[in-house]
Amino acid sequence: MKGYNEVDRYMQETNMLDYSDAQIQKLIQNRGWLELSDFDRIKAIYNYVRDEILFGYNIDDSIPASKVLADGYGQCNTKGTLFMALLRACNIPCRVHGFTIDKKLQKGAMTGLVYRSAPRMYYIVG
């Protein structure tokens, strides 16, 4: 593809990184993130996802960022999806590396209801 480079690749909207969603765009405008320097923008978005999106298991790890935002909660993977979508929407190229593991590997670290409600497969960001 002529003119295509790695930065373009890390700015694309995808099914999961659906940053043109109206609620995502409204959040960005309300927070004024586009007015900040790149460093402060990244920090503000990070702090928002860390502090204002509660911890909890969404229905699936592969839900779009707009669903994570609408839910108001997520775990490391779905919060990561929202974080990436917000960064890309605010002109910060980003990507993630990861792999999947079976939840059986988490047995003992998670118990009871937490283990039973966790998805069968985890996508581990690394």
Which pair of structure tokens corresponds to residue 17?
């990184």
- Tokens 């283990």 label which residue? 115
pTM: 0.79
Largest Cα–Cα separation, the chain: 53
- So what CATH class is 6-95? alpha beta
Percent of the chain with pLDDT over 70: 74
pLDDT digits (tens, 9 = 90+) for 37-82: 999 999 999 999 999 999 998 998 889 999 999 999 999 889 999 9
Distances from the Cα of 53 to the Cαs of 6, 15, 65, 74, 76, in angstroms?
A: 30, 20, 12, 7, 11
| Interhelix angle 22-31/76-89, nearest 10 degrees | 70
Report which of 84, 90, 89, 98 is spatially closest to residue 36, judged by C-alpha positions.
Answer: 90
Minimum mean pLDDT range among 71-75, 105-109, 112-116:
105-109
Beta strands in 36-76 (DSSP E): 54-55, 73-74
| Mean pLDDT of the residues in the chain | 87
pLDDT for residue 121:
55
**Domain residue spans in the chain?**
6-95, 96-126
